[in-house]
Amino acid sequence: MSEASRDYRPGAYRSAAARTLRDTPEVRDSVGSATRTFDSLRVNAYADVDSDRWRDWARDVKGHALTHLDEYLEQAERSLVDNGAHVHWASSADDVHRVIAEVVERHGVRTVVKSKSMLSEELEVNAYLESLGVRPVETDLGEYIIQLLAEPPSHIVGPAIHRSLEDCRALFHDRLGTRLDAEPDELAAAARQALRNDFLAADLGISGGNFLAADTGTVALIENEGNIRLTTSVPRVHVALVGIEKIVPRFEDLAGLLQLTARAATGQPIGLFVSLIQGPRTAAEIDGPEEVHVVFVDNGRTTLFDDDVAWEALRCVRCGACLNICPVYRQTGGHAYGWTYSGPIGAIISPGLLGLERALPLPHASSLCGACADVCPVRIPIPELLTHWRERAVDEGFVSAGERFGMSAYAALAQRPGAFAAAGSTLRWTPWRTAGKVLPVLSGWVQERDAPTPSVRSFRDLWRAGIE
Amino acid sequence: MSNREQILTALRSARMRRPPVEHPGRFGAWRPVESPPPIEGFEVMFTQAGGEVVRVSSSAERDEWLRAFLADFERLSTGVGVPREIADFGPRIVDPGGEHAADVGISVARGAIAETGSLLMDARDGRRAQLLPPVLIVLVDSSAVHATVADALESVRDDLPAAIGLHSGPSKSADIGQVMVRGVHGPGRVIAVVA
């Protein structure tokens, strides 16, 4: 088990982040290099088009879909059923597991090929399949690497960005017998060979879904390797797990969303492979799955939707642009966040999906610099939603006794002018370096900083005397 | 209450509290510079992504190119719409189901897209031939090259097969140490033959 997954839960964020920086400093190098590359590619890709207009358009398509979500889900269900697909509604991970168990049972499934899906990570599908005695095989190269390492993904788009080429060489040498100094081409070829056999042997392919067009019942998937096309084309049965927020009204809406998502995620004009899946193979087709199941997954999304501020986070298209530019995410990568979705977007959806208490302190894992909001392709006001969750944490009493005491002491002081002036004068003459040694709550602050020399007179004195 | 009713009820009660957002209409591409004619735009974009484009002016010229190119291969997997004369061009044609043993595949595209350099691959031509061989040749009719993705999607929306693939270059990944490699799962070499 890896260092990062030792205490894998949001509540352990602070200690996990500190441990990552202390014990595995190379993670920061790998994550920093990958995210800076992703981000500079995005900058160029946004500049090639009228990206402001694209983003306004995408914000409104997703906003429209969300403010009519029940209607579009019903329409998507009708379209998919007309196309011959099976539709399931899952409120929880257990409901999804039951759908999978039924398919596994009925088709005698032994091996499942999977294409990268964050929703499947969220629902812990692999562990569930293993509990059924079924072998899940992740086929996205990054996801394959972390499956071999028994690690969770570190990034929404690049699950293994925290791992260096050297790490991969050692891993593949150990598991696939490649040379220790093998070039990336040779490593990829070895993985291709191993996974190709699984594609041909598997009875079931499980994918996620980037978008679901309501009018045609189309599950749209974006990728670069071709493993999603294989996962959804070669096995006899295909199960697509789709979050209910992935709905878009029209097939034609995919034109803008597929391009914008690729530009935001990796700076490409479009993913090298896009799958637009309507249902099982028709009578006119010689191959493709005979059975297609689409699972509409809630798993906390209706709770997030119920929050009159935070619901906007459901516009997210999972491009990872906010992770790539986040100065906090760049320090540690995703593992420290202790949950499937990391970085700024993880910090604003986890309180809805997991419950606020379980998600804390993630809304605080941000300096509120606002870079994430500047790059978001669907214009989610991420910093506002971070402060919203912080406010709710205070309202609901999820703050430490020390913070509560400090805030009420400040409120009492601020209502008494004499006491306020006296406290101000005390603070101006406090020797911070010494105070930091005495008061542990300050030590972290004064260790690396020199307090500026305080003014002899207070601001209020200066104001009364008339400031120039 | 069923899961379905539970989910729909929760969504209805929450969204009734919010002003509805209007659909913004058709995606308009909105590019700062004038786009080139579709066929040229396709060639530029597809080549940039690592794909290859061969332009031919007649079916005779196309067959001549295919015959020369296929001479280096042994086993060919063919799409449903590929002209049958291909059987005489050298490689042995594998049976359906045996596509993984082919060293080259050939499929007919439903169309192409200039905006993104994409080939519209229809499931009715056979998906395995489009995906399993390491080298893929795609036959495209130059009259079916659309300017934008929106145009292309509108052209197929009323006649959709079980699946459409947009293929915009060879398979790639940078998941190993952030170094770009080709041909990870799908074809590592894709050649669009535009007639």
Nearest chain A residue to B98 by CA distance is A200
Confidence of residue A402 (pLDDT cuts 50, 70, 90): confident
Confidence of residue A396 (pLDDT cuts 50, 70, 90): very high
pLDDT tens digit sequence for B33-90: 788 899 999 999 999 999 999 999 999 999 999 999 999 999 999 999 999 999 999 9
Interface of B with A in 111-150 (CB under 8 A): 115-118, 123-124, 126-128, 130-132, 148-150
Return the bridge partners of A242, or none: A296
Three-class SS of B25-90: CCCCCCCCCCCCCHHHHHHHHHHHCCCEEEECCCHHHHHHHHHHHHCCCCEEEECCCCCHHHHHCC
Interface test with B, best of A195, A196, A285 (most B CBs within 10 A): A285
pLDDT tens digit sequence for A298-332: 999 999 999 999 999 999 999 999 999 999 999 99
Extract the tokens encoding A179.
Answer: 């040379």
Query: How many angstroms away from the CA of A295 is the closest CA of chain B?
Result: 11
CA-CA distances (angstroms) from residue A222 to A59, A197, A261, A323, B172? 19, 23, 9, 19, 13
Interface of A with B in 4-43 (CB under 8 A): 30, 33-34, 37
CA-CA distances (angstroms) from residue A312 to A60, A299, A388, A414? 11, 17, 12, 36
pLDDT tens digit sequence for A153-203: 999 999 999 999 999 999 999 999 999 999 999 999 999 999 999 999 999
A444: pLDDT strictly greater than 80: no
Extract the tokens encoding A107.
Answer: 């088709």
| CA dist., res. A73 & res. A244, Å (int) | 7
Note whether A151 contacts B: Cβ–Cβ < 8 A: no
Confidence of residue A4 (pLDDT cuts 50, 70, 90): very low
CA A336 to chain centre: 13
DSSP state of A337: G
pLDDT tens digit sequence for A445-461: 777 777 777 888 888 88
Interface of B with A in 150-169 (CB under 8 A): 150, 152-154, 157, 160-169
pLDDT of residue A3: 47
The SS3 assignment for A422 reads: helix
ipTM over 0.95: yes
| CA dist., res. A11 & res. A356, Å (int) | 11
The SS3 assignment for A346 reads: helix
Extract the tokens encoding A376.
Answer: 């978001």
Task: With beta carbons under 8 A apart, name residues in chain B contacting A216.
Answer: 157, 160
Tell me the torsion sign for CA atoms A283, A284, A286, A289: negative
B150 with A256: Cβ contact below 8 A: yes
pLDDT tens digit sequence for A409-435: 999 999 998 898 888 888 888 877 777
A140 with B160: Cβ contact below 8 A: no
Helices A25-47 and A13-23, interaxial angle, to 10°? 100
CA-CA distances (angstroms) from residue A151 to A4, A154, A207, A290, B181? 8, 9, 19, 33, 23
Lowest average pLDDT, out of A48-52, A213-217, A389-393, A426-430, goes to A426-430
Residue spans in chain A of domains classed CATH 3.40.50.10420: 51-168+199-301
pLDDT of residue A267: 98
Query: How many angstroms away from the CA of B169 is the closest CA of chain A?
Result: 6
B181 with A185: Cβ contact below 8 A: yes
Tell me the torsion sign for CA atoms B95, B97, B101, B106: positive
Q: Which amino acid is at A13?
A: Y
Interface of B with A in 58-77 (CB under 8 A): none
Return the residue matching tokens 């957002």: B21
B10 with A306: Cβ contact below 8 A: yes
Instruction: Write the CATH number of the domain with boundaries A51-168+199-301.
Output: 3.40.50.10420
Extract the tokens encoding A98.
Answer: 């039951």
Query: How many angstroms away from the CA of A388 is the closest CA of chain B?
Result: 18
A1: pLDDT strictly greater than 60: no
B186 with A229: Cβ contact below 8 A: yes
pLDDT tens digit sequence for A263-287: 999 999 999 999 999 999 999 999 9
| CA dist., res. A83 & res. B161, Å (int) | 9
Query: How many angstroms away from the CA of B87 is the closest CA of chain A?
Result: 19
Q: Which residues, including other chains, have CB under 8 Å from residue A111's CB and lie 6 or more apart?
A: A134, A135, A137, A198, A201, A202, A203, A204
**C-alpha closest to that of A241 among A110, A92, A75, A71:** A92
pLDDT of residue A297: 98
Interface of A with B in 285-344 (CB under 8 A): 285-288, 292, 296, 298, 302, 305-306, 308, 311
Task: With beta carbons under 8 A apart, name residues in chain A contacting B184.
Answer: 141, 188, 191-192, 225-227
Task: With beta carbons under 8 A apart, name residues in chain A contacting B163.
Answer: 232-233, 275-278, 288
CA-CA distances (angstroms) from residue A56 to A42, A62, A140, A306? 17, 10, 31, 24
Note whether A459 contacts B: Cβ–Cβ < 8 A: no
Q: What strands, in cross-sheet order, belong to the sheet with B104-108?
A: B52-55, B189-194, B135-140, B104-108, B75-78, B92-93
What H or E segment, with its residue span, contains residue A138?
A: strand A135-138
CATH fold for the domain made of B35-194: Rossmann fold (3.40.50)
Nearest chain B residue to A96 by CA distance is B3
Contact B22, A67 (CB under 8 A): no
Size of interface A-B (CB pairs under 8 A): 268
Strand ranges inside A147-270, DSSP E:
204-207, 211-213, 218-223, 237-243, 247-248
Note whether A180 contacts B: Cβ–Cβ < 8 A: no
Task: Tell me what percent of the residues of chain A surpass a pLDDT of 70.
Answer: 98
pLDDT of residue A468: 63
| CA dist., res. B69 & res. B51, Å (int) | 16
Query: How many angstroms away from the CA of A287 is the closest CA of chain B?
Result: 6
Average pLDDT over residues A241-250: 98
Task: With beta carbons under 8 A apart, name residues in chain B contacting A196.
Answer: 100, 185
How high does pLDDT run on average in chain A?
94
B20 with A64: Cβ contact below 8 A: yes
A5: pLDDT strictly greater than 70: no
Average pLDDT over residues B135-144: 97
Q: Which amino acid is at A250?
A: R
DSSP sequence for A347-399: HHHHHHHH-HHHHTTGGGS-----HHHHH-TT---HHHHHHHHHHHHHHTT-S
CA A404 to chain centre: 31
CA-CA distances (angstroms) from residue A359 to A20, A75, A338, A346, B148? 19, 33, 9, 9, 42
- The length of chain B in residues reads 195
A91 with B117: Cβ contact below 8 A: no
Note whether B54 contacts A: Cβ–Cβ < 8 A: no
A276 with B154: Cβ contact below 8 A: no
Lowest average pLDDT, out of B147-151, B167-171, B174-178, goes to B174-178
B163 with A244: Cβ contact below 8 A: no
| CA dist., res. A251 & res. A91, Å (int) | 26
Note whether A272 contacts B: Cβ–Cβ < 8 A: yes
Cis-peptide into A361, omega within 30 deg: yes
**C-alpha closest to that of A65 among A312, A397, A271:** A312
The SS3 assignment for B119 reads: strand
Note whether B2 contacts A: Cβ–Cβ < 8 A: yes
For residues B51, B56, B60, B62, the Cα torsion angle rounded to the nearest 10 degrees is 0
- The length of chain A in residues reads 468
pLDDT tens digit sequence for A59-117: 999 999 999 999 999 999 999 999 999 999 999 999 999 999 999 999 999 999 999 99
Contact B157, A79 (CB under 8 A): no
Q: Where are the domains of chain B?
A: 35-194
pTM for the whole thing?
A: 0.94
Average pLDDT over residues A394-420: 89
Query: How many angstroms away from the CA of B88 is the closest CA of chain A?
Result: 23
A255 with B80: Cβ contact below 8 A: no
Extract the tokens encoding A204.
Answer: 């079931």
**Which residue in the set A69, A277, A296 is minimally distant from B163, CB to CB?**
A277
Contact B10, A302 (CB under 8 A): yes
A60 with B21: Cβ contact below 8 A: yes
**C-alpha closest to that of B186 among A194, A186, A226:** A226
